[in-house]
């Protein structure tokens, strides 16, 4: 199995370039996460995390039904799908999941990079919102309860403050639809130079004051400037879903590697999930592989994340 996630190909940043922007410039007064940033209640070891696989990891030469059956065969309980604009294809995916007896638990929105909500261009924002609306309706059709959203991208044209305010404004326009469909919008950090600390992520989410805005936490992404176990403890009950990757720092840069072969402290991560009582889905996000690769990955999740 290849170990560099294809949707990260655009991430050409260096490890030393990332740094967190201070929250003090954004707000004054008491931090809204102060009373709730700690772990949610839950006895250690009590949580049952469910294994899922990203649909793009399954062999593309197979039909959707056969892909989903393969996922079940090698030990995954669910699939994370991606935005599908064609209604006929979306219906095919629904029927395939039903035939394979596997749940589609979440949807990865596919338009937030090319068309970020933080853009100053109304036409770009309109396309981003349309993509999210399609993703939310996909989720409802498939029985998923979460849509992943990268909320903003900081770049030379978009300041950190503008990324914060613009993205929140647009996400609030999506909230009525999310509430109507009963689908959570899961905010993910993906090397977008935004929400670079767990305190910022908690603050950003809390400002919506809605149970339909939560965190889609990626174990591997935050290694660039932090420790996943710290993020898990800080985000606590805000964690709706989880992505699993591993990351290896190298003298000349970095590399995405298979689970257990990088710098993630998996025992600490496993304990942190137990501490907050997390019992949702953890979705592997690597490149595609054959049946042997997927079976091996399923066993790695058992060992590293489930502790079995």
Give 39-79 pLDDT, tens digit per residue. Answer: 333 334 435 899 999 999 999 999 999 999 999 999 999 99
Q: Are strands 253-257 and 246-250 parallel, antiparallel or unpaired?
A: antiparallel
pLDDT score at 289: 87
Q: What is the sign, positive or negative, of the torsion defined by CA atoms of 114, 115, 117, 118?
A: positive
Q: Is 210 exposed, middle or buried (0-12, 13-18, 19+ CB in 10 A)?
A: middle
Higher model confidence: residue 8 or residue 175?
175
pLDDT score at 18: 39
pLDDT score at 25: 38
Model confidence at 292, pLDDT cuts 50, 70, 90, reads very high
The reported pTM is 0.86
pLDDT score at 38: 37
Tokens linked to 201: 């992520």
Model confidence at 207, pLDDT cuts 50, 70, 90, reads very high
Higher model confidence: residue 137 or residue 46?
137
Model confidence at 274, pLDDT cuts 50, 70, 90, reads very high
pLDDT score at 114: 87
For the cut 50, the answer to whether the pLDDT of residue 89 exceeds it is: yes
pLDDT score at 2: 47
Model confidence at 20, pLDDT cuts 50, 70, 90, reads very low
Give pLDDT tens digits for 231-240.
999 999 999 9
Per residue, the 3-state secondary structure of the chain, as one string, reads: CCCCCHHHCCCCCCHHHCCCCCHHHCCCCCCCCCCCCCCCCCCCCCCCCEEEEEHHHCCCCCCHHHHHHHHHHCCCCEEEEECCCCHHHHHHHHHHHHHHCCEEEEEECCCCCCCCCCCCCHHHHHHHHHHHHHHHHHHHHHCCCEEEECCCCCECCECHHHHHHHHHHHHHHHHHHHHHHCCEEEECCCCCCCCCCHHHHHHHHHCCCCCCEEEEEECCHHHHCCCHHHHHHHHHHHEEEEEECEEEEECCEEEEECCCCCCCCHHHHHHHHHHHCCCCEEEECCCCCCHHHHHHHHHHHHHHHHCC
């Amino acid at each position: 199995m290849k170990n560099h996630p294809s949707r990260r190909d655009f991430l050409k940043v260096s490890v030393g370039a990332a740094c967190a922007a201070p929250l003090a410039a954004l707000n004054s007064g008491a931090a809204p996460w102060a009373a709730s940033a700690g772990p949610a209640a839950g006895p250690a070891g009590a949580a049952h995390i469910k294994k899922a696989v990203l649909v793009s990891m399954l062999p593309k030469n197979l039909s959707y039904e056969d892909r989903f059956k393969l996922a079940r065969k090698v030990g995954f309980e669910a699939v994370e799908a991606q935005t599908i604009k064609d209604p006929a294809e979306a219906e095919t995916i629904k029927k395939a999941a039903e035939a394979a007896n596997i749940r589609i638990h979440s949807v990865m929105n596919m338009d937030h990079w090319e068309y970020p909500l933080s853009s100053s261009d109304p036409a770009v924002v309109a396309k981003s919102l349309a993509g999210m609306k399609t993703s939310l309706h996909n989720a409802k059709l498939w029985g998923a309860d979460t849509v992943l959203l990268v909320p903003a991208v900081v770049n030379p044209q978009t300041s950190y403050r503008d990324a914060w305010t613009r993205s929140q404004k647009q996400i609030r326009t999506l909230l009525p639809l999310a509430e109507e469909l009963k689908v959570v919008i899961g905010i993910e950090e993906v090397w977008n130079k935004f929400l670079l600390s767990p305190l910022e992520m908690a603050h950003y989410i809390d400002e919506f004051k809605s149970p339909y805005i939560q965190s889609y936490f990626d174990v591997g992404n935050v290694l660039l400037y932090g420790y996943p176990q710290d993020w898990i403890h800080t985000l606590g009950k805000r964690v709706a879903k989880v992505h699993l990757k591993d990351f290896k720092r190298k003298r000349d840069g970095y590399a995405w590697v298979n689970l257990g072969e990088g710098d993630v402290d998996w025992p600490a991560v496993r304990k942190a999930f137990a501490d907050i009582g997390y019992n949702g889905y953890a979705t592997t996000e690597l490149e595609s592989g054959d049946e042997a690769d997927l079976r091996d990955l399923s066993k790695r999740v058992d060992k590293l994340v489930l502790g079995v």
